[in-house]
Structure 1
Amino acid sequence: MAPQTAPARQNLPADSDSFIGRERDLSDLLRLLDTDRVVTLCGTGGMGKTRLALRVAAHAAASFPDGVWLAALAEASTQWEVTSRIAAALAVAEEPGRDLIETLCDSLSGRRLLLVLDSCDRAAAHVAAVGRILTRHCPEISLLLTAAEPVGADGESVRRVPPLSLPRSDDGGGPAGGEAVRLFLDRAGRAAPARIGDADLPAVAEICRLVEGNPLAIELAAAWTGRLAPALIAEGLAERLAPEAAGPGPRPPVVDTVLDWSHGLLSEPERVLLRRLAVFPDWDLELAERVCSGRRLRDTAVLDLLSALVERSLVGLTGEHRGRVRYRLPGPVRRFAAERLAESGEQDPVHERHCEQMALIVEELGRASVIGRAMPWQERFGNWERVIAEYDNIRAALHWAVSARRVRNGLRMCVGLRPFWVTGYHFSEGERWSGLFLDMPGGPALLRGRALVGRSELAWARHDLGPAVRLAEEGMRIGRENGDNDPVVRALNLLSMIDLRVGAHDRAEERLAETLKMARDSGDLWNEAMALGSQGSLAARQGDPATADTRYKNALMILRGMDHRWGVGITLIARGAVAEDQGDLLAADHSYRQAMDIQRDIGAAPELARCLAGVGRVAHGLGATGQAFDYLSEALMLSHSTGQRIGVSDALASIARVAAAQGLEHDAFRLAGAAVTFREGTGLPPSRRPWPLPEGTGEPGPGLVACWDEGRALSVDAAVALALGVADTARSPRPRPPAPRLAEPPRKALTPREHEIAGLVGEQLSNRAISERLFVAPATVARHIANINRKMGFNSRKQIAAWVSQHDGAV
């Protein structure tokens, strides 16, 4: 099989600390997962639900052949957000024209996996609703949830996470016994190595009893052993937690009391930083410095203060991203810090700074996505990766901007996020946020015009052509009225693509001409390249492949000059499709393979599947049956695992055509019938070639029509399994008679490029030397030479060179 797209089997984070105790809980939960499909770990804050769930998932991996997957839901508050976070964890992309939950069910329906849904409290009812849908439609998945209380999911089995065991006077182990003391000693050993002695063990045991075995409370107390002896820690906690210390009214949770005690030991700058950090789901040092500094806190002091909070177990580490350490507040700590922030009167200013920083990050993404000057691709793509890293922060800022009615900042973020939403397949989420802010009054007209066009692009991506046209025209009108070319040019480009879709070629031509003039007048290289690509598509539809190729080449020249690999990739896919339609298989192969390399690097699964399918179809056209099945099978599996029915349909139809050519007509018709059914479900127009037999073969007989009808009734999982089975049995091509050797130069057999390469082989040039002479990749030269050998009946470069010498001047 073509390499490099084997799916991962888990996304669990690496353990940052040792796991103490819980052996019995672990074994009990593993047995429970063998019998119950929905298990919820409940307990008060700080009880270690998440850590236990992750440890259970890691141990259960062998029982789930399709992996164990974590979706963090602490920031989710709606059913859409729950669904989108689960889909993101599983790398399932939204498909145009379909609800994301349907795509998610399609992707998971035949997979046996464990889905860990962590911190479900904020959206418990929505988690229950999504869980109900998933377990009903996906009989092989299991759910492991964490929440303070049961979420109410169907078939939910609830397991209360108990405190860590405490030392008992009758266990013979003395004060060092019990899981709680073991945890305290482990964490204290990190805070103050070799400081805890045997004489301290009674005080340690007393601390563990006072905090009732709560793991987070134990860690918070142990973190102070570098400054306080265990006896002093026990004394301080006893003042707040001993039964005689209880005042009137309900007693607060133990972990909150310990947090209040620990907070009281902090310096004032540490307290200021801790409460301001509550605005972050997670963060890096640079963000903390920009958002949390200000009155009473210098940015240069943040690093030392943050390090101190880490030492006190109030801040945790989550790993690194692009060389930057990421931090987070444990859930109970963040709630405590948020309460202190509200009490301080700083809540709105800190949220305002947080929102401003997120707006700056996404604006940089928006600029880098379309900026025309040359920029190293890694720098350009780095903005995309930064948005991925900060996406929870960005969502938090969007939520706050909605509640605080900060329309300007909301529109800024929507405009900047447009390329991320479109190319990352977050169409519905982008439409929801854009709609919320566009429905609010106010905001600069320039931002509204750009946001309207951005929303129209999202509607286009979802195949909602009517709304796309209306929004684009309104955004273009506002842009013209305010002298802002950006929404005008983008709207014209989009409207021309819609014209191409509906067959309005004359109108598309007019719009593209205006787009090119405006883009060139303003030096807008991105939109110039996009317009040239659309002109290439228009020329191809009008039956002018030479002009189409010229337009694509010009677009690629601009995009390569910008070092914009994503733009190069999508243009190469379009160029490859045109070359394939024209029968220029080698040119199509060249375009698809170049685009494939780009899409692998970027990680765009739908586009990568299109490239794989294109390479597979071309391989079939060139007679490489085994290679065709390899690439088409990979395209099929990738599309299926990411929930892309369009990709599944295209791959099934292509496999059907290869299978029919191998004499497997009955299975071919079953696959083709399934492909047509799935395509109909996407709302796309019918395929030009519904039958898998070659054009001109005539109508199929009754037996094949019956197979077609069988295929139309297949589920997605069944059709995929059938296709992969057909590919496995038919991958080895049937023996064919050797191609006759041609005595004369085969002007009709070899393409002009093959003639050119044959001549260079005759000059004794290596593949690399030929690639440098012709400005193509060495792998492309190798494919051309293999094709020459196949057509000519040769098996070596020497034979090609001898033939060239024999026909000197005629080749």
Structure 2
Amino acid sequence: MLADLKRRLCSGKNAALSALYGLPGVGKTAIAVELARDREILDYFRDGLLWVGLGINPNLLGLLGRWGTLLGLAPYEMETLTTVAALAKTLSSVIGTRRMLLVIDDAWRIEDALAFQVGGVNCAHLVTTRFPEIALQFAHDGSTVVHELSEDEGMSLLARLAPEVVASKPGEVRSLVGAVGGLPLALTLVGRYLWSHFYKDQPYRLSAALSTLQSIEELLRLTQPASASHTAMPAEAPLSSLQAVINMSDQHVAKQAQDTLRALSIFPSKPNSFPEEAALAVAHTPVETLDTLADAGLLEGSGAGRYTLHQTIADYARLQRTDTLVEERMVSFFTLFLATHATDYNALERETDNILAAFQIAYERKMSEQLLRGVVTFALYLEVRGHYSIAETQLVRARQAALDAADQAGLAFTLLHLGRIAERRGVLNQAEQLYSEGLTVARQSQLRTTLVDLLANLSEVVLNLGEYGRAEQYAQEGLDLARELGDQQRMCVLLKSLAEVIDCHGQFERGDELYREGLALAREIDDREMMCLYLQNIGAKASKRGKHEQAMPYYQEGLSLAREMRHRQRMSALLSNMGMVSTRMQHYAQAEAYCQESLSLARTIGHSVRMGNALQNLGIIERERGNFAQAEAYFQESLDLAREMGHRWLTSETLCEYGEYYLAQNKVEDAFTAFAEAYAVARGFGGQELVARALYGLARIALLKKDFVAARQQAQESLAIFETERHEKVAEVKQLLAALENSM
């Protein structure tokens, strides 16, 4: 910014006009001072610099007279100049062709700034102001907004002001940078305050100072001596504080605008923004009041129809807010907003911070009905976007609200979604318990649609726990009820659940039929999330049958839909599967890229199952590359996660991959241990595909040990299962059996 300003000021253009505008305390004057001290500026403007600080009620004649004195006008010459216009005209004549920089600091009215535009053709003018309109009127395209500092820039400033404090307490200092929103004046006050309380032999004094600054009131009251060259503050205010600086702008607007500013402080501060319609509803004010606050530099625009409040201005206004109806209007607006935008995830994403602020108010003020209604609507969005911790917090509160209100429908819903969060985190036993509690409530209260949802989710979680019989029972009951209700969306969900169970039972042809029926229904009702799930599962079945090129288009279509929805869990799953297809096709670099992205997404949202899958796949890639140490690290982390979750499918599957890892290194006994455990786990819950994979591994080990009878028996059992699924391993197992025939 300084470099651009220097170029403009030194451009030599006729009466170069520049302006800096921004929030109170953002550093406009500090930048002007820096320019005024710059050696290149001083060399260019060889005839000198004139500085004036205007403020709210400047004595224009007196300030112009001071410039006249500096320019060499005699007192008797100025006595005859009794108007601003006359004195300004004379100053302009005196300056003539001199090359000077004229700084007009802290302009509150355009007329005041223009009165000091007295430079000649070789001069440049720089105005600083809080008001965007004044900057634009004075300098047109030469106006520049001064932004607050970034977190790192704020730390650098504090490191210059209080270096040993920053070195000894970096975490606490960084939090202070965030607390004041990177505002330079605030950071300067904080830095000087901390430095004044830093004593090496008395560390408790610094701790006490840091504790003091946790109070918003104390931050706003911090003071420093006003700059000798800066006359913006009223004469009766010899010290500058954040509160005083902001108060000047606050007092400059009418009471309606002041009340509106206090009301708007209920919204989370910058970088959050809020829509105009929310501002008008919450503040109960006309749109012109927002314009007044924006013109005063107290309210910032943040894109079309949106506004934002800086942290310090919001803190100032919040401390003075007394209208409790503001909170009720905030909750009412966003409860209605959720009801009308339930499936508009882009709109929900924009308003997430505002919605959560409304929930917090509803929770603190015990507005149970509004809290429950809002959370019920918002929970699915939070889950889809992977915000599990936020969702859990809100759902726990909503569950209590439902209990307090004896709202059985709300209670069943919150139990359903708490179960979904637990399931996605891999806490399967907790998920089963929550679903079962919800199921009891739904049956007792005859909540049929919620009952279908609970049956679908309960089927999936007990399937992952390896209880195939119960999984099929729940899925079939749910599907029958969905058909009875004529609910196509829920039918779509249950067809997928039933297909997964049927596949695990080894009834692969029937599973295919259910998948085809479900995908057709998902396309018919345009349920993009279910389309993703079906495309993923159908692609996986094609891949297992060795049709990798056929599988990839299914995955790619699913990934495209998942990215559109920003459904991070589904994106992770599809990327992981695409990684495996690429591995089978020996495109290892691409496979690794897919799986690393999958793992990153899974870690971000804390989805243990997806993490385990991605880690297992990365282990396979490194094993195929011959990087055995890295492969083992991936496999071990995947196995640890699977065991921690009690996820028997993932446990058995990873053990099978571990067995292949050991065989690749001729570690026969270790391979036997891995395959034997994989077989025992899979047999325990009836996972037919994994039983076949483990048996195939054990058959190869038996062959290596010359135990031909055991090898043939295990290979034949494995082949029978693989043939039912039309698995790609069929040809390999047949080759093994042929080799056995030749050996016996």
Give the TM-score band, short-chain normalised. Answer: 0.5 to 0.7
- Over 3 Å counting, the alpha-carbon distance change for 1:175 and 1:479 in structure 2 is farther
Matched, 1:427 2:388: yes
Q: Secondary structure at the match of 1:335?
A: helix
- Over 3 Å counting, the alpha-carbon distance change for 1:363 and 1:620 in structure 2 is same
Aligned pair partner of 2:631 in 657, 672, 677: 672
Would you say the 8 A contact 2:49–2:103 is kept in 1? no
Aligned pair partner of 1:360 in 333, 336, 341: 336
- Over 3 Å counting, the alpha-carbon distance change for 1:531 and 1:271 in structure 2 is same
Give the deviation of 1:653 after TM superposition. 4.3
Would you say the 8 A contact 1:363–1:415 is kept in 2? no
Aligned pair partner of 1:457 in 416, 420, 424: 420
Give the deviation of 1:477 after TM superposition. 3.0
Would you say the 8 A contact 2:331–2:370 is kept in 1? yes
Aligned pair partner of 2:266 in 269, 279, 287: 279
- How does 1:540-559 map onto structure 2 within 5 Å? 540-559=503-522
Aligned pair partner of 1:175 in 12, 36, 50: 50
**Paired AA for residue 464 in structure 1:** V
**Paired AA for residue 554 in structure 1:** E
Q: Secondary structure at the match of 1:643?
A: helix
Deviations 1:121-173 (A, max 9, x none): xxxxxxxxxxxxxxxxxxxxxxxxxxxxxxxxxxxxxxxx99965979x9874
Who is 2:212 aligned against? Answer: none
- Over 3 Å counting, the alpha-carbon distance change for 1:318 and 1:459 in structure 2 is same
Matched, 1:330 2:310: yes
- Over 3 Å counting, the alpha-carbon distance change for 1:642 and 1:450 in structure 2 is closer
Matched, 1:196 2:114: yes
Who is 1:504 aligned against? Answer: 467
Would you say the 8 A contact 2:452–2:481 is kept in 1? yes
**Paired AA for residue 677 in structure 1:** Q
Would you say the 8 A contact 1:589–1:618 is kept in 2? yes
- Over 3 Å counting, the alpha-carbon distance change for 1:691 and 1:192 in structure 2 is farther
Mapped to 2, the partners of 1:457 and 1:700 lie a distance apart of 41
Q: Secondary structure at the match of 2:130?
A: helix
Mapped to 1, the partners of 2:102 and 2:345 lie a distance apart of 40
- Over 3 Å counting, the alpha-carbon distance change for 1:336 and 1:438 in structure 2 is same
- How does 1:49-88 map onto structure 2 within 5 Å? none
Aligned pair partner of 1:384 in 332, 335, 345: 345
- How does 1:220-369 map onto structure 2 within 5 Å? 241-244=233-236, 254-281=241-268, 282-293=273-284, 297=285, 301-302=286-287, 304-319=288-303, 324-342=304-322, 346-347=323-324, 349-364=325-340, 366=342, 368=343
Mapped to 2, the partners of 1:183 and 1:318 lie a distance apart of 32
Q: Percent identity?
A: 20
Q: Secondary structure at the match of 1:439?
A: helix
Mapped to 1, the partners of 2:34 and 2:53 lie a distance apart of 5
- How does 1:22-61 map onto structure 2 within 5 Å? 46-48=24-26
Deviations 1:271-294 (A, max 9, x none): 33322222222211122233332x
Mapped to 2, the partners of 1:19 and 1:486 lie a distance apart of 63
- Over 3 Å counting, the alpha-carbon distance change for 1:597 and 1:544 in structure 2 is same
- Over 3 Å counting, the alpha-carbon distance change for 1:693 and 1:676 in structure 2 is closer
Mapped to 2, the partners of 1:596 and 1:534 lie a distance apart of 20
Would you say the 8 A contact 2:519–2:534 is kept in 1? yes
Give the deviation of 1:500 after TM superposition. 0.9
Mapped to 2, the partners of 1:615 and 1:432 lie a distance apart of 34
Give the deviation of 1:657 after TM superposition. 4.1
Would you say the 8 A contact 2:265–2:315 is kept in 1? yes
Matched, 1:643 2:630: no
Mapped to 2, the partners of 1:465 and 1:548 lie a distance apart of 24
Matched, 1:219 2:130: yes
**Paired AA for residue 439 in structure 1:** Q
Mapped to 1, the partners of 2:112 and 2:232 lie a distance apart of 28
**Paired AA for residue 437 in structure 2:** E
Give the deviation of 1:468 after TM superposition. 2.0
Deviations 1:415-457 (A, max 9, x none): 1122122222222221122223423552333222212222122
Q: Secondary structure at the match of 1:466?
A: helix
Give the deviation of 1:613 after TM superposition. 3.3
- Over 3 Å counting, the alpha-carbon distance change for 1:694 and 1:477 in structure 2 is closer
Give the deviation of 1:531 after TM superposition. 0.7
Who is 1:778 aligned against? Answer: none
Would you say the 8 A contact 1:652–1:671 is kept in 2? no
Who is 1:487 aligned against? Answer: 450
Mapped to 2, the partners of 1:482 and 1:395 lie a distance apart of 30
Give the deviation of 1:699 after TM superposition. 7.4
Give the deviation of 1:243 after TM superposition. 4.8
Give the deviation of 1:312 after TM superposition. 1.4
Mapped to 1, the partners of 2:414 and 2:618 lie a distance apart of 42
**Paired AA for residue 386 in structure 1:** A
Matched, 1:393 2:354: yes
Matched, 1:533 2:496: yes
Who is 1:563 aligned against? Answer: 526
Give the deviation of 1:616 after TM superposition. 3.5
Would you say the 8 A contact 2:282–2:333 is kept in 1? yes
**Paired AA for residue 332 in structure 2:** E
Structure 2: gaps (5+ residues): 7-22, 56-62, 64-100, 120-125, 139-229, 675-744
Structure 1: gaps (5+ residues): 1-17, 24-44, 53-160, 202-207, 228-237, 369-382, 710-811
Deviations 1:344-377 (A, max 9, x none): xx22x211121122223334454x3xxxxxxxxx
Deviations 1:65-123 (A, max 9, x none): xxxxxxxxxxxxxxxxxxxxxxxxxxxxxxxxxxxxxxxxxxxxxxxxxxxxxxxxxxx
Mapped to 1, the partners of 2:656 and 2:112 lie a distance apart of 77
Give the deviation of 1:307 after TM superposition. 2.2
Q: Secondary structure at the match of 1:279?
A: coil
Aligned pair partner of 1:614 in 564, 567, 577: 577
- Over 3 Å counting, the alpha-carbon distance change for 1:658 and 1:401 in structure 2 is closer
- Over 3 Å counting, the alpha-carbon distance change for 1:432 and 1:604 in structure 2 is same
Aligned pair partner of 1:416 in 352, 377, 393: 377
**Paired AA for residue 292 in structure 2:** A
Mapped to 2, the partners of 1:546 and 1:650 lie a distance apart of 25
Matched, 1:688 2:675: no
Aligned pair partner of 2:666 in 678, 683, 701: 701
Mapped to 1, the partners of 2:619 and 2:106 lie a distance apart of 61
**Paired AA for residue 174 in structure 1:** L
- Over 3 Å counting, the alpha-carbon distance change for 1:513 and 1:638 in structure 2 is closer
Give the deviation of 1:543 after TM superposition. 1.0
**Paired AA for residue 294 in structure 2:** V
Would you say the 8 A contact 2:602–2:610 is kept in 1? no
CA RMSD across the alignment: 4.5
Mapped to 1, the partners of 2:611 and 2:399 lie a distance apart of 36
Mapped to 1, the partners of 2:522 and 2:566 lie a distance apart of 19
Would you say the 8 A contact 1:496–1:509 is kept in 2? yes
Query: TM-score by structure 2 length?
Result: 0.58
Who is 1:634 aligned against? Answer: 594
Who is 2:164 aligned against? Answer: none
Mapped to 2, the partners of 1:512 and 1:445 lie a distance apart of 23
